[in-house]
Chains A and B, each alone.
Chain A
């Protein structure tokens, strides 16, 4: 028994979020923020093994104060991609030979690193991605959860499943690391999502190359540092900041075995197309794990408790300005309670505070960048011209990429607002004649990521649960905030391919099965 095996981790439990209703927790965060501010901007180099490139080329700014530079990052070029993949493959082979429990111990140590710096990391997510405090803190906790959860999962996976055994035959199934994992991560969960995808690759014994979103290289750097400091070999995890070019070079690289992507549908589908190619010399078919967009609907039945449905819809739609793949975009409400629901949603929107994410009383922070603001504002104009803006809240700071939270309705069936992902603080509402009609509307969408149902009839809950192919259906609660191990997260349809993150099946995507069957019978002598 090795030393690492002796420290078998205990059962998984979610990292507790801060109790922000306590003044002491809030003060601690503000203090961490002012300490962080004194150190900004961060420099994010291209990190390949022990080589540190220059940290220049990308400017990551604060969406609430665009003049504030949060991080200055390098841009990984084609040669960097070559070097990173090559070293990840070499180093990965050694990493894969270590027992899963040893790798797990390192990931758990990385989780401890994040835990120790959790206030500062939350502050960084506030600055770099304009996550409001509660969301920023939850992002840190989810990153910790992914490390802890996949570390344990990889130990269990290494044991392999039991196979049927008959006399004279020994059957064994193992899961082996596939090889280099390219991780392409988004900015909206700037700590949790890169950590999750990287951790899954590392836990199962693969070398990993991370290309974070150009909007959040600072957060990605902190994740990579936490892993390296915990003992992940420098070569086994590279950081390649960059734009789409870098990502494209990585995806097309023949040395990459697995691509873990979370982001827009357009990019995700492009990756899937590209990954299907098997250029000369590539001896494998790439596997793509892609979490893509959604057009998430909440169905409110006539017997719903509106006292709960209203705040839950608001929270699902506007927390982090609607910039979650799980966010509520469309409300389908039974006509019998439509007027009441719409009136109350409108009333709440008028009370929302649109402000800086570092304020604890902010309800809606800015969106990530100018381009995003322009996109959301365009959709808002479309809502006004094709239908009606039912409620909006336009009081907001002058500076920063703020968008007015908006409820729109009376849209024609053909409206792009009912189909396209806005990824901003804009939702639509439509009365429907029945829950069945609402389900038909949901089924007509190509996406199937999250969904919500408010009903107090067990029969309705069961029927909708059986019917919809939605990856995550939330009943009588908000539709965002999936917790690792509790709500494995991921969509079906055009929302994604692959098993749900933070769930029992996820790690299987980073390994390949190998079965060894040995004949143990020698001239009639059975050896068991």
Chain B
């Protein structure tokens, strides 16, 4: 494991190759250290698409900066010029440019079509992708229909684009058979306005009406459909929906489909047993892909539980969470070939553990997939690809400004301070990064 980790760390190289990225890293690190500053920055990105013009944006910047007890010098200066319209316009323009710049890092394109070049570039660099369509929350039936239509269209676009990619055996085949090049991640909360935590059957029934045609389309086109997991309120609906639909006779032989297991949930081991029991009972070809992640709604789950006096459903101790991640990794690897395994993490130790554990069990590297997030795990992806491992980048697609707001709300706000990125830039030693949890 140590060997794997060292090699990956070396491969990640230095961010000096990308001066802009180094700048972003610094901004992210700075804000990671100051919760208030980070919150202000995220709130600003969040409100950007709702601002009428750059003047309005400048006003919001000044307002949010005004809430900081101890604003850093540049913000302090910004607030002083925000009293004039010219000042606000200048500030607003700077923010708009900043958000766009940041968006390019995290968003692969403003549409699946626009993202084609980026996905092709990744593929040629030995990296696969899965596309996530960013958009507003679904509260009406029309919005759910629109999301389904966008997904249908995206499947077509992705498959058409992927046809022209060069062959890459590692990325399109494992020991169980072929792996689709086109890969789309969908969200159940976007597929139905009827998600009710106290009545999961209602959301399942409604979302099934929209997911079924998507599964059919994916099967026709030979694309992979991955169902994302979100906050705990929707987990039961999501899990029941996938297992129900994939049990239907017409989907026994495809498409390739997957779900997500969130290791930060205390109940994740029980969830995994439920998934594996299902997979054993209903063997399907191609097998279900299980993507193991830590989970992106930690802050939300903790705050909600504390507000309502519930026992916190997620691990609050990082080491405990990391240990659970490794236990689940091992359980998943040993459950093959009933399932395919993807491990999504930026934690060097977690990733190295998965790779080493797979090899130790006699598995081929091709029978384990690694996944990272665009914008946060790019260096890790490069080094995993260089090491001859199959890595897939989760690539959000959508309007750069509005999409960045959704991304901030749903992902970055919940990204823990304890990221690999931060640990590395602070000069944590390799030993520390690879220490057992």
Task: Give A contacts to B, CB under 8 Å.
Answer: 13-17, 19-21, 23, 26, 133-134, 302-307, 310-311, 314, 336-337, 344, 346-348, 350-351, 353, 359-361, 456-460
18 further contact pairs, Cβ within 8 A, besides A303-B56, A348-B139: A13-B309, A19-B310, A21-B233, A303-B60, A307-B136, A310-B139, A336-B52, A347-B140, A347-B142, A350-B140, A353-B202, A360-B196, A361-B199, A458-B63, A458-B67, A459-B59, A459-B63, A459-B66
A457-B60 in contact (CB<8A): yes
A351 to B51, CA, bound (A): 30
Chain B residue at minimum C-beta to C-beta distance from A459: B63
Shortest C-beta distance, A496 to chain B (Å), equals: 26
Contact between chains at A17 and B198 (CB < 8 Å): no
Contact check, A360 vs B139: say whether CB atoms are below 8 A apart. no
Cβ-defined partner of A457 (8 Å) among B63, B136, B141, B194: B63
Query: Nearest residue in B to A132 (C-beta to C-beta)?
Result: B198
Hey, which chain A residues are within 8 Å of B60, CB to CB? 303, 456-457
Spell out B's residues near A (CB within 8 Å): 43, 46-47, 50-52, 56, 59-60, 63-64, 66-67, 136-137, 139-143, 193-194, 196-202, 232-233, 236, 308-310
Chain B residues with CB under 8 A of A304? 50
* Cβ B52 vs Cβ A311 within 8 A: no
What would 25 A/B residue contacts be, using CB atoms closer than 8 Å? A14-B309, A20-B197, A134-B198, A304-B50, A305-B50, A307-B137, A310-B139, A311-B139, A314-B139, A344-B139, A346-B140, A347-B140, A347-B143, A347-B193, A348-B193, A350-B141, A351-B141, A359-B199, A360-B199, A361-B196, A361-B198, A361-B199, A456-B43, A456-B47, A457-B60
- Chain B residues with CB under 8 Å of A337's CB are 50
In the complex, A15 Cα to B307 Cα: how many Å?
Answer: 11
| A305–B51 alpha-carbon span in the complex (Å) | 11
B268 to chain A, nearest CB (A): 16
Is A306 in contact with B136, judged by CB distance below 8 angstroms? yes
Q: For residue B271, give the distance in angstroms from its CB to the closest CB of chain A.
A: 14
A216 → chain B closest CB, angstroms: 24
Please name all residues of chain A whose beta carbon is closer than 8 Å to the beta carbon of B137 when the two chains form the complex. 307, 311
Contact of A20 among B47, B50, B139, B198 (CB under 8 A): B198
Contact between chains at A16 and B50 (CB < 8 Å): no
Please indicate the chain A residues that have their CB under 8 angstroms from the CB of B51 in the complex.
303
Look across to chain B and name the residue whose beta carbon is closest to the beta carbon of A348.
B139
Which chain B residue shows the least CB distance to A25? B198
The binding surface of chain B is classed by DSSP as helix
Residue of B nearest to A362 (CB): B199
Q: Is the CB of A302 within 8 A of B141?
A: no
Question: A307–B56 contact, CB under 8 A?
Answer: no
B197: A residues at CB distance < 8 A = 20-21
Q: Specify which chain B residues have a CB less than 8 angstroms from the CB of A460 in the assembled complex.
A: 63
With both beta carbons as reference points, the residue of chain B lying nearest to A16 in the complex is identified as B309
**Measured CA separation A361–B195 after assembly (Å):** 10
Shortest distance between the CB of B189 and any CB in chain A (Å): 11
- Closest chain B residue, CB of each to CB of A15: B309
Contacts of A346 in B (CB 8 A): 140
Give the CA-CA distance A310 to B138 in the complex, in Å.
10
Could you say which residues of chain A place their CB within 8 Å of the CB of B201?
361
A460 to B51, CA, bound (A): 14
* Complex CA distance for A307 and B50, rounded to whole angstroms: 12
**Complex contacts, A303 vs chain B, CB 8 Å:** 47, 50-51, 56, 60
Q: Are A17 and B46 in contact (CB under 8 A)?
A: no
Beyond A303-B47, A351-B193, A351-B194, whether A457 also contacts B140 by CB under 8 A is no
A133-B198, A456-B60 as given contacts; A302 in contact with B139, CB under 8 Å: no
Closest beta carbon of chain A to B85's beta carbon, Å: 15
Distance in angstroms between the alpha carbons of A26 and B202 in the assembled complex = 15
Q: Decide: B308 and A16 in contact? CB cutoff 8 A.
A: yes
Say whether A21 contacts B139, CB under 8 Å.
no
Cβ distance A317 to chain B, nearest Cβ, rounded Å: 14
Do the beta carbons of A360 and B309 come within 8 Å of each other? Answer: no
Assess the A347–B236 pair: CB atoms within 8 A: no
Chain B residue at minimal CB-CB distance from A337: B50
How distant is the Cα of A344 from the Cα of B232 in the complex, in angstroms?
A: 25
Determine the residue in chain A with the shortest Cβ distance to B237. Answer: A21
Assess the B43–A307 pair: CB atoms within 8 A: no
CB distance from A433 to the nearest CB of B (A): 13
Shortest beta-carbon distance from A349 to chain B in Å: 9
Q: How many Å lie between the Cα of A344 and that of B308 in the bound state?
A: 28
Give, as a whole number of angstroms, the nearest-CB distance from A478 to chain B: 13
- Residues of chain A lying within 8 A (CB to CB) of residue B139: 307, 310-311, 314, 344, 347-348
CA distance A383 to B201 in the complex (A): 35
Task: Find chain A residues with CB under 8 A from B142 CB.
Answer: 347
Cα separation A136 to B47 with both chains bound (whole Å): 36
Minimum Cβ distance to chain B for residue A201 (Å)? 27
B191 to chain A, nearest CB (A): 13
- The residues of B that contact A20 with a CB separation of less than 8 Å are 197-198
A344 neighbours in B (Cβ, 8 Å): 139-140, 143
Partner of A360 from B56, B194, B198 at Cβ < 8 Å? B198
Bound complex: CA of A361 vs CA of B50, how far in Å? 33
Residues of chain B within 8 A of A361, CB atoms compared: 196, 198-199, 201-202
Q: Flag if A348 contacts B310 (CB, 8 Å).
A: no
Contact A21-B308, Cβ < 8 Å, known A457-B59, A457-B60: no
- The 8 Å CB contact of A348, one of B46, B56, B140, B308, is B140
Task: Output the nearest chain B residue to A26 by Cβ-Cβ distance.
Answer: B198
CB-CB < 8 A to A306: which residues of B?
136
In angstroms, how far is the closest chain B Cβ from the Cβ of A462? 9
Closest Cβ–Cβ distance, residue A283 to chain B (whole Å): 46
Nearest A residue to B57 via CB reads A303
